[in-house]
Amino acid sequence: MQRRVVVTGLGLVTPLAIGVEETWRRILAGESGIRPIQKFDASGYKTRIAGEVLDLNAEDWLPKKQVKRLDVFIHFGVAATRMAWEMAGLPTPLDGRLGPRAGCIMGVGLGGLQSLEETIPQVAAKGPESRVSPFFIPKLIGNMLPGVVSMEFGAKGPNTCLATACAAGTHAVGEAMKVIQRGAADIMACGGAEAVVTPTTLQGFGSAKAISTRNDDPARASRPFDQDRDGFVMSEGSGVLILEALESAQERGAKILAEIVGYGLSSDGYHMTAPDPEGDGYIRCMNMALADAGIRPEEVDYVNAHGTSTDLNDLTETKAIKAVFGGYAGKLAVSSTKSMIGHMLGATGGVEAAFSVLAIRDQVMPPTINYTTPDPECDLDYVPNQKREGRVQRVLSNSFGFGGTNASVIFAEYRP
């Protein structure tokens, strides 16, 4: 019999707040974390807005000596993991019995880009005379995040990093579930982290015409499924979940927030950045998650959509949801929390998985804000502008990434 996997901890670092409850309160209030960029002078760029994390003191979450040796994305990821760890009631570090049965899988899109941008000009200017930190490479590589989690918390089981662009966090959550189901671990920290609000990414995404230029109204710039959407808003942060085998959680007396029951993944095999216009990859991904969960489409109450606020993604995701859910699609609540926090790239799947769990915990569906001009081709119920209370027993969360890589996970209300 397949092991059941439950959620016992959550951690969030977002542009709205540092912490789960305050971030969630502001999400349900429909507040936006998008503002003019403050971390560097963006005045000369076409896009001058982002979702920045400005108030995280890394020394509150990591030893001071470690802070200087690690990139900002690792600061975010360890902070979110520590929150989730504490919520789950796990000891730090784990003892000799639990340690080898606990692991970590994290999703990262671009890794230590801030450290890279700081170092390249030094080497370009001084060549072999440049003073490069011996910690430069460890700062840069994505798998240092799960590595540091292992060291900080004593999680000595499966440990890996996924770099599947904007689907990475969701892939990490799904793969962590499978690790527990097949018995390779009992406890897994999973999710994603990203810190790439930098001049290079701003110029890169701007050149691709992928990001919003609504600089005069930052809070209204991210507008998924709205006819006037003009691109996603780049963001940063981290979302981490603690997944646990049901018997392990019961043995520890842990509070169970929800159960994770389904995981799907697929590839479009179509284009580097654009989705298959018919949504073939999205459709197969959601259907796989439903089959894995052993549920019918009409048993899903809410979809936390990828909903990036780009023309192609929102249209394609809408088509795919209609194809998967058929006549039930019009009765299904679908919303994009990216309308409030922007797009965190590799971190977004972990953050949105946490929101999905909280929707079940509190029986409420977060809104899609800035939905003012309906797009005739995007005609689902996007929970416009205000939260909606209602029965939430099962939630499907989607993430789709560059390269055509797709991931969906399904969470359910826990029933003994």
Cβ-contact 337, 364 below 8 angstroms: no
Domains of the chain: 5-252 (3.40.47.10), 263-412 (3.40.47.10)
Give the whole-number percent of the chain exceeding pLDDT 90: 90
pTM of the model: 0.96
Annotated catalytic, 306?
A: yes
CA nearest 145: which of 127, 169, 122, 128?
A: 169
Cβ-contact 44, 54 below 8 angstroms: no
pLDDT digits (tens, 9 = 90+) for 177-203: 999 999 999 999 999 999 999 999 999
CA nearest 47: which of 227, 226, 222?
A: 222
Tell me the mean pLDDT in the region 157-167: 97
Residue 270 burial class via C-beta count within 10 angstroms: exposed 0-12, middle 13-18, buried 19 and up:
middle
Spot the catalytic one: 75, 190, 285, 306.
306
Helices (H), 273-395: 280-293, 311-325, 338-341, 348-362
Spot the catalytic one: 166, 190, 285, 378.
166
Annotated catalytic, 343?
A: yes
106 forms beta bridges with 161, 191
- Select the highest-mean-pLDDT range: 36-45, 124-133, 268-277: 36-45
SS3 62: coil
d(CA 42, CA 50): 10
- Residue count of the chain: 416
DSSP strand pairing (258-267 vs 405-412): antiparallel
- Two structure tokens written together for 294: 């052993």
Spot the catalytic one: 171, 190, 285, 343.
343
d(CA 98, CA 103): 10
pLDDT interval class at 94 (50, 70, 90): very high
pLDDT digits (tens, 9 = 90+) for 303-318: 999 999 999 999 999 9
Annotated catalytic, 171?
A: no
Residue 311 is predicted with a pLDDT of: 95
Tell me the mean pLDDT in the region 338-354: 98
pLDDT digits (tens, 9 = 90+) for 221-253: 999 999 999 999 999 999 999 999 999 999 999
